[in-house]
Structure 1
Amino acid sequence: MIKLFSNSSKEDSHIINFILNSSKFTFKRCKESELNTSKNSNNLYIVSHNTKLKEFSKILSSISKLEIKNIFYLLPLDFKEIYEQSIINKIFYPVDFLIFEEKMNSFFSEKIILNEFLFISNDNLLTNTKTKQEIYLTEIESKLITLLKNQNSISKKQINEIVLGHKAVIESKSLDTHLYRLRNKITKVSNQIKIEYDDQKNIKMTII
């Protein structure tokens, strides 16, 4: 499901209605006040055609402070000259509906690729395309795999701080529990991922 936000006026309601009724994606119409609860959701934000650039700049600033991970903008064509090279995820309208769907599919189907057959979808589903096996990970488990994938090895203290948000030096039983559960889930999907300790007692992940 994708949360749908907009600062649209009544004149733009046909755009929202068309997307809600025609897209293959499932949307939930949300109020802008709900953005602060959408940090880990998939989000589409439609910007009204009569929005001023200065106004949109304020919108971007506000949303940036919320640290929302997955948000895609549908922007008026008038914004293209200014925002075409921007790093925000966007498409400009009017736009062919098939192109819109392709862009949405590409963005919201983003994967963490582990190897030729293994990936984690953006809804934390670990999938083995060779065996057709899959299992859902928790947000923390997904973050653990992503972190280990990008590091040769990493200490328990660093994982506690980065993934679990533990700032102080604490007993890492919570981390051990997460690692145990994650290993059990992985073995149900693949024998190509190994999470273990190295000689320095740091944690590393090996993917065959």
Structure 2
Amino acid sequence: MSNQNLFIYEFEELYKILSEIKKDINVDLDKASENQLSEINQRSNSLIFTRKKIPDVDNQIIFDKFPVSIFKLLEKINIEFLKKNFSEQSEIEIGTYKFNLNSREMYKEKTKIKLTEKEINSIIYLNKAGESVKIQELQSKVWGYQSELETHTVETHIYRLRKKILKIFNDENFIISDKNGYKIIKEK
């Protein structure tokens, strides 16, 4: 079963065609009624396929150019799901901060800072861990250092990142260090 849902709205012919090839496409297929549109629009893994624009619905594919080959149709569906997934994965929220992974920016309200790739990767890794992460683990997982050589790369980068966050956001507790390593504090 797929985790992508394609709903067909007021487009019976298309629903019949896609139903026939359902086993060959990588989406779950269903019809949508007018009173379901708002709920479907809120789902992160769903798109609504329609012939004409539906007001106040973001997650829709409007397809009004016919005839079209089935391959072009399936390509359009796949591209729309890829764009949706890319867009949703480009922005995350950690505590009171938001992060745009594409532009590598951290922001809160109208204040933002630019981050390096290693800084954003460190924050994401620490956030996913949910607990303190040892320096050696960050060194291996974020920097790719497998050696047991003595290096202070992680400490230096985290120090500079904490200093940058303190200067711009006046937050000295977003990334803390304890006896077990580094940890993100997600206070709201």
TM-score, length-scaled by structure 1: 0.49
Q: Does 2:140 align with 1:197?
A: no
8 A contact 1:192–1:207 mirrored in 2: no
**SS, match of residue 196 in structure 1:** strand
* Structure ID, larger Rg: 2
- Could you list the per-position Cα deviations for residues 16-69 of structure 1 after superposition, in whole angstroms to 9, with x for gaps in the alignment? xxxxxxxxxxxxxxxxxxxxxxxxxxxxxxxxxxxxxxxxxxxxxxxxxxxxxx
Structural mapping, 1:150-189, within 5 Å = 150-151=128-129, 152-187=131-166, 188-189=168-169
8 A contact 1:141–1:182 mirrored in 2: yes
Distance 2:114 2:152 in 1: 22
Distance 2:49 2:185 in 1: 44
8 A contact 2:101–2:120 mirrored in 1: no
Distance 1:195 1:142 in 2: 12
| 1:127 alignment partner in structure 2 | 107
Distance 2:135 2:51 in 1: 48
Residue identity over aligned pairs, in percent, reads 23
Distance 2:165 2:21 in 1: 45
Q: Give the C-alpha shift of residue 171 in structure 1.
A: 2.0
Among candidates 111, 127, 132, match of residue 149 of structure 1 = 127
Q: Give the C-alpha shift of residue 134 in structure 1.
A: 0.6
Unaligned runs of 5+ in 1: 1-76
Q: Give the C-alpha shift of residue 184 in structure 1.
A: 2.2
Distance 2:176 2:146 in 1: 23
Number of residue pairs aligned between Structure 1 and Structure 2: 126
Does the C-alpha gap of structure 1 residues 91 and 182 become closer, same or farther in structure 2, counting only changes over 3 Å?
same
Unaligned runs of 5+ in 2: 1-17, 29-44, 63-79
8 A contact 2:93–2:99 mirrored in 1: yes
| 1:118 alignment partner in structure 2 | 97
TM-score, length-scaled by structure 2: 0.54
**SS, match of residue 164 in structure 1:** coil
Structural mapping, 1:12-23, within 5 Å = none
**SS, match of residue 179 in structure 1:** helix
- Could you list the per-position Cα deviations for residues 154-196 of structure 1 after superposition, in whole angstroms to 9, with x for gaps in the alignment? 1111000000000111223211221122112222135274323
